[in-house]
Amino acid sequence: MVLTEMQLGSAVSSSKLDRYDIVKLTLEWISLNRQSEDFRKLTQDEMINKALSDVVTDVATPEKMEELRKKQKKLIKAEASTEGEGC
């Protein structure tokens, strides 16, 4: 769910996170999801708004980001080993 600009402003100001943490987590969430189906089709502004909404509504938490990082590392290792078998 993407929040409206007014809702987003209210959510940021009432968030338990400070603004710097919100920005940091938003950038990390974008980086982790840039190639995902949900983010790939978005414009840059839409991507930022979606990621920011995800962070302030606890869709994107540090724990979920760590899980996603681990999954991506496993996927990269699996792809590398598959490519290595073809040589």
Residue appearing with tokens 């839409």:
46
Cα 27–chain centre separation: 7
Cα 81–chain centre separation: 27
pLDDT for 38: 84
pLDDT for 20: 92
Per-residue pLDDT in tens (0 to 9) along the chain, 87 residues: 677 778 878 888 888 888 899 999 999 999 999 988 889 999 999 999 999 999 999 999 999 999 999 998 898 888 888 877 665
The 3-state secondary structure of the chain, one letter per residue: CCCCHHHHHHHHHCCCCCHHHHHHHHHHHHHHHCCCHHHHCCCHHHHHHHHHHHHHCCCCCHHHHHHHHHHHHHHHHHHHHHHHHCC
pTM: predicted TM-score of the whole model, two decimal places: 0.78
